[in-house]
Chains A and B, each alone.
Chain A
């Protein structure tokens, strides 16, 4: 069996592109939600 420390450790540039896409997909709705909440929260100031 291969060394488990290397089984999923190193990642090529393609892997990081996928990471960026995945984070963007969850980040956009989250950022929209935070923006909407900030608009409401701003009324306290």
Chain B
């Protein structure tokens, strides 16, 4: 008898509504999206011993910040490593393992806070939680693409939007919980970790058990595949072990890498850039940021925080908007828009600064951020178009290593360029300009990679025998 988590038990019964799958995927992505909101714990954790202020033995914020690096390294690595396993075993098992890893990470971290051992936080949330992130992130992708052959972009956009929105729920929730649990002798982080672990476990298990696979050959009622397919959309499949040997795989890798690196660069510097470039103008005072009084600086910092929040809203809006639009204009054209329009916008940001126009600056950055989010949500459909739907989750998992690479390239580029310029006498507010032009240069490289993407060569596609062998491996029966 097939197990509760097996692929066979996940196949939908007649009458199943495909619109139940996106909320299941959202439940998982909204949970793991809290990874973006972990900075809410840094300040309380930096005074875990001193309670009201950091004491000797308390962790530094820079030490805690390593968690982000671990998150994204293990997200990419686990997605790449376990993608083929996910395709064989089905999304439910992957969702359950993701729930155990992500929630288990919170529980181990809570123990780490209680015994004050930073390695337990790194291991729990960073390594084990990071593996949960990777598995959870790719778990719904191929399922959604199979349920929505007519709206591939929109379907994956809905799920990946959740990853962008997870911190919007998780950060204020964590803040409320820490206030609730805080006492004279505790900052309340450990019980908050336990509570969040339990909440996310329930939400992710509901999501995992909500996953259903369509029966083989299923298509939406009344929908027929277009008689004349674009050459860029295949009806056949490339095996994951073959896909990474094709130039198309590496071109898509570069496309995602460049788009994300440039976007991460902007996200990292947008808020401080707004504050340094416009300074007192943000609060109606004619003075540079360094010349403002402490209370005025605090007002400017509040506006900076508001800008960061606005950016996160446009990030999630872009995920659903651009991915849905790609269903109509095509994936390649969508990435052309990201790189051409993006190049113009990145180059215009310094101009908005020189012009002194806050609304123009804010509008440009927000539009740029929609394309950062759109890059993430459109890539699964691009992969499905080129390599087929059979291994889209596994191939997507491997291409997500570009995200890990971008997590290194983007911040390193921004930080070192800024330090170099300031060391050579460039004023702080102007040091951002060159960085924006360099990030625009990354988009040119992305454009060239996208331009080189052509349909996959005939010899890479699976034969009927390959498909039959794969079906046996995937527990479809003899």
> Which residues of A line the B interface, CB within 8 A?
2, 4-12, 15-16, 18-19, 22-23, 25-26, 29-30, 32-34, 36-38, 40-45
Contacts and interface: CB of A to CB of B under 8 A. Distances in A.
A31 B318 CA distance: 17
A30 B215 contact: no
B256 interface: no
B109 interface: no
B313 interface: yes
B313 A34 contact: yes
Contacts of A43: 302-303, 305-306
B295 interface: no
A39 to B, nearest CB: 8
**Chain B binding surface SS class:** helix
Residue with the highest number of chain A CB atoms closer than 10 Å, among B165, B169, B312: B169
A1 to B, nearest CB: 9
Nearest to B218: A4
Contacts of B216: 4
Interface residues of B, number: 41
B197 to A, nearest CB: 16
Contacts, number: 107
A22 B86 CA distance: 24
B337 interface: no
A34 B169 CA distance: 8
Contacts of A42: 306
Residue with the highest number of chain A CB atoms closer than 10 Å, among B23, B162, B305: B23
B221 A9 contact: yes
B395 interface: no
A18 B16 CA distance: 10
Given A8-B214, A38-B313, A41-B309, A29 B20 contact: no
